[in-house]
Structure 1
Amino acid sequence: MLDHRLVQTAVIGHKNSDHPVILPMDAWELDRWRGAHPGYSYWCGLQLGGCGGELSDRRYTTKVCHFAHHRTAPVCHRKNNGESSADHLFIKRGVQRLLGKRKMKGRVETRDLGTGPGDAVDVYLPDSRRRLRFQLSAVDYRAWRRADDELADDAEGIDWIFSSEGPITQQFTGRHGYCLRVRCETVGGERRVHIGAEARDRTVSWTPLEDCTVTPSGIVTPDTEKIRLTRPRPRPTAFPLQGGLAFALVPEAGVPADSPFATKDRHLLVADVKPVDSPIVRALVSLPADTEVPPAEHVYRVADGARLLIAEGTAGWAVEARRYTRLNAHDAQRTGLWTPPAAPEPMVAPTVPAPRTRKPDPVSAANPVTSSEPPAAPAPLTRGEMTTAVRDALAQHARLRTTTTWETLARTVSPALAQYSDTGRRDLLVAVDSPLRENVPVLSALVRDRGEPLPYLFRVLSELGVPRAAVSHRIKRWAAVETERAFAAYGVPARAMPPRLSLEPEHPTVPQPATARKPAGFAARQRSADHRAVAPQHGRVDMASSDLSKVRDLRALVTELERMLPALGMRSRKRARKTLSSAQTWLAAYDGEALTTRQPAAVVRKKAGHFVLIVEGALETARESVRAAKQNEEKQRAREERLRRAADLGSRAKRATHSPFTAAEDPVGRLTRQLADVAAGGRTVALKHLDLGSGGSDPRHVLAAVDREMGSDVPLLSALVTGSEEVPVPFFRDILRTVGLAVPQTDEALLKIWRREQERAYAAHGNPPRPLPPRLVPTASQAAPPRT
């Protein structure tokens, strides 16, 4: 029987030998090798994972020369036969030679970590109590951590040298500024060992092992020594803190000199920190160094951008703040970090001293008189403090995507706000939003009065410098757009703001045909005549011809229909949008917006009553569509409930008989396990590849049941299911509605939600699990418009 295995490496002398050799591949090199070593015998060594049988060298001129087993050799199950299969023995021999050259004591041994004897090479230096680990097999973070703890039991330092690049080497590079690597190159009948220093830019500088130095601080190459001297301090791990926090500095407490959180570009201070809904704790606070250290007698708030810093190997932690604001006296007292100072004692006029000192009465001293006056109330806020407090409160409402009222601001900011007149409120809001900037939303638009913008909002905008705010009829629409801008700017995460609505009226443009040259003044007169002819058709709607009550009814109907759009089906939504388009065009012309095309002229000539009728018809159709959708949803829920009950009965029967799952297994449980495996692998799965069993279950219903059983804050596993072209399944909106989440109106928003839920699923089912990114879609109750 012929041996067809191309064995390239062996050991010399006997089966337990650790003296490796590589057979030259070319015939002329093999001839030179035989002449130089006529007495060598070759073995399929046990330290190579071989059978221990003897090998013979085979010389070929038409193919690669290689070792071959003798006919009498035992059956060999050796996995690796190539050049790199003996690298651990070449590394072991190279380190032994280096220690002998440097006259150092050391123990070198190979390790089998589960995949073969060549998994690792361990070096122990007793004089410096240091270890070197040449990691030649693949390893994840948890296996590396266990090995590092094991090696650290009898060593004061460990150098890790990896054979291949991977997540662990990236961890080392990011934490220490460099990573040690090892590789072997074939030279004749052996492999030369090189040590490399991998920098942050992924470049590796290689040095032969014999040119390296072993010191008490580890193995050293010229490049590693240079990186060690210039590498930055390892960066602590950072986690975002949701909800913000408040802090007050403690200047009398000192910061540890060797704190891992100290950097040149930040102030590191001791403070009493109170996160939202948590007790007060003393910790380190890292503040930007481009500003002065804030005074210690105040309390400060970090509304967003705070991060928790944790340094590996230490029990300490710190809070990093990018921006912070000073709290007013009222809010500072509510945190528990500050109390108002006591009022100074009144000055007493000096009196003539008595001839002798009177001793205090023992009875009076034992029973001091207590004052019946109530404690002093907090000092009232100054004008600047009140402006800052109202601005912060409105920013918090924008972050939560809610509007507010003046009464709510009085309860949360200061009771003094309730005593403000309309003029005082207007002046305060002007100060809150001054100066007017295009890239900063006007927070005054968030304040509502009976669900509508403030009646004096146009005066606020006029004083801020908004053009035509005093005469425009579109203040309500302007406030709605500005509210969306505030939600986008202060949301978490922040989004791109839509453009600010202009209150300037637009004039219609009528194209002029090209004609021959006319007399002077003719063009101006012609434009004036054309404007008078076109204006009744394309300009503002004649207010006298439109009943104001009908216009108000039309606005209310349009608003109601807009709110119902997300809940409509495809056909109903298409009709509703077409109806809304014509009604909104008419209302825009009624509000003074100019129409730049001739196409909507027929729409503008209609009366308000006409659009009231067509919008009422569209509303009736929309209500019927919503009722039908609710009925279908109830039927789906009933069917899913029957599926779950049947699954529960089936699982109980299987547990009673101790039999494995069959084809009639619960499709919800089957699909949940499949999607969990897909999430653990960081992949997606096509709809046609779902494992629904042989029961013919509808994937829409089963996916909805899977996500409904997972819980409120658990990632949606249905986001891992793709359509035909790596897009969400067509019924992903129905799944969101079924599990109680808000349904986005645009496909772009739906795609962002779908991708974020994939990221959340990968984080939840990863190995190890990672912190979940925040969910982009709110619940249906949170997305509903607030009632005021």
Structure 2
Amino acid sequence: MVSPTSEEDTRKVQTAVIGQAESDWPVFLPYDHDDFDTFMRGRTRHDFYCGVLLGGCGKKLTPKRYTGKKCHYAHRPPVHCRRTETGEASADHLYIGQALRRWLLRQGYQGADITYLDPGSVHGGAVEARFGQGRSRLIRVQLARLSLREWQETRERLADRHTHVHWAYGPYCGLSHNEVDAAGHAIRISCRTQGDTREVYVGAQYPDNSLAWSALTECRLSNEGVITPSLDAEPPASSTPVPAPTPVAFPLAPGTIAFTAATELPASHTDPDGTAVRLYEADLQPLGSAAVRARITLPHAHPAPSPHQLHIIYSSAHLLPLTEAPPSGPDWLIRADGASPLPQQTDSRWPDLRPASPRPESPPATPTTTEPAASTPSPLPLGEAETIRVFRSRLGIVARARGLINWETLISHAGAAPGDVTPDERVRLLIEVDRPRADGKPVLSALVKPALAPEAPAPYFPEVLAGLGWRSDLSEARVAEVWERERRSAYALAQDASTPELQQSLNTSREKNGTRLWNDAQLVGRIRAHLNLVAKGRSRIKWRTLINKQGIAHSTLSAKDQVRLLAAVDKPYVPSRGLLSALVKVDGQTSGPAPFFGDVLTELGWSPDAAMPTVEAAWRVALDRAYAHSRQSAPTAQSSPVVPSAKGDRVHWSRLGTTKAAVTVAVRRALIDAAQRQVCVGWHTLAAAAGLKPSDLSAMARESILVAVDSPPTYGVLLSSLVVASEHTPVPYFDAILKRLGRPYGLRPIELGRLRKTEQARVFAAYRAAAHTADAPKERA
């Protein structure tokens, strides 16, 4: 290994950021060329920026691999960068900020606000992390030097604005001794290179100047600040007594605890950090365990959980022993940041929890039908293959919007509820969404997060990565970096994708059996549209550039694929017409036909003749005619083929990120809910239930959906009769629905209205009775 040597050219730097110039996600380039190869796996040379938060110019950096000197990033000329800190530690303030955000999340504090003060200055300025109720707590990491007077003034200013201020000191600020004098010990913070990252370490400095270091992940947070293992194990000799440790609190994984029958207790309760909360007593069940009676605290502003619903704790939570409980009362307290109600009354993951239904004010009416109840719907109403397709399509839409989607919303687009899918099944489905893996293909699962959670990798994202081929023991920092890179890649790729189907097929390679993973017809259409634009500009384009513009790595296509696709662009072959494939060249080529153009001609069925005796002659004619044709009629990128909608639907379901089957399931559920509430509904309600706008669905599409809902009718009643237009008038296509369902149709308006009211009464009677019995009608899969 070549030992690092100092280099005076400040254009050569050792740290960068990924995603964009303003990003706070740092990356350190290892010195050694062997480590360089490992570092670049899954990355490209276009992912790195001279970050603004590094004091840089914001321009792209290129990683350079050397065997005789240290590897480094280099600016792309011309260089006008005034960045002063370029070495191994130049991004430590960003590594510290990211590590604090992840650590605070593990301590139960979501959405910490990280601020970088004077980034790019010597030693990185300072980092501030605000968290807790109203961002009232603060961790201040002082990296740059401060005078004693500045330090004292800053302490007073921050103490006036926050309930708790915890200080930590970098290796060069020279203030830790003052902190030891003031508090009995000081918290030191430092970064160390480990592989291709900089890990954050925390040390406790004692009056005798001794230091005990440990990883930040091994520390905990108390009202007194950051507590290292050495502070826990052996209090330092100091005139100031060490505060008593906080009560034992076991962190609980989000999504593993459900509860019901919650009753608010009048007693007030305050969390250890001083925030006011509401205290509830509820029936609670962890995954794989029995149900118990326990107490739960939720933030004071959190909506009170209904005792008649099943709730799941999706946020971070901690389990504490309840020392003040009466002898016959609960023994445990759960401190949670939030909970969400589930749409269903029961869930197979928590079989012992049964919410009590409100008592009806009057005895239930006798059911009008005696048919047996429908069977319980399958966990995935659309089936696994169709569910995965819907996931990919919806995630493509999320990527184009440059957003994230929570799992609960994503599963609803497939007509299922969160409780229908176990955590293991959720991971398996997300893995299938991103299979097969390929160079340049983003991991769409990076766009999925739990509800009420911050913009960070989902707790199960490392399991998804492991299922896709990443190592199962990735550090938190590495998982966060992969998540950020894959998210940005999905956003960037989505900008060039014209349809969700194409989005999920871009940047893919071949499977081992040689099956193509892209849609040839759509890809050829996009290539043709792009070459028409090239012809209009009377220019040529390299094959590498052309195929990369379609979002596919050129290395994933063989020479045979290249010839086949270009020939498809110009089929059917007409000798008198120009050939768009003549516009394609190879790297470094300045004139003449591409080396593969003769193979394209052969694929098209061309043969030499007197007018075009050679490949070069045929190329010149094809090129001139392509330019001439572009002046007469120049198609645009909008001319790429579009998948026609199904007859009668008049809806491009794929563009909406869903399927007709998924919309049918959602509409059926919404109509069953309306029947149980004894109301009619309009399409604004039904479209919202399917995640759509009313304007997304034509009248013919609405008719087709309602026919599917009632094919065959559940319990012999027509749910479609509950759908009304404005002013509570019947929808104009109700007679057409009757015809397609084999019912009497062609009735006069007064007869049609009477029939509709009769059907509504039958629906209300069936579901009013069933709502209070164990054999309530279930929607079909």
TM-score scaled by length of structure 1: 0.28
- Greater Cα radius of gyration, structure 1 or 2: 1
- Which has more helix, going by share of residues? 1
TM-score scaled by length of structure 2: 0.28
Q: Which has the higher contact order (CA 8 A, sep 6+)?
A: 2
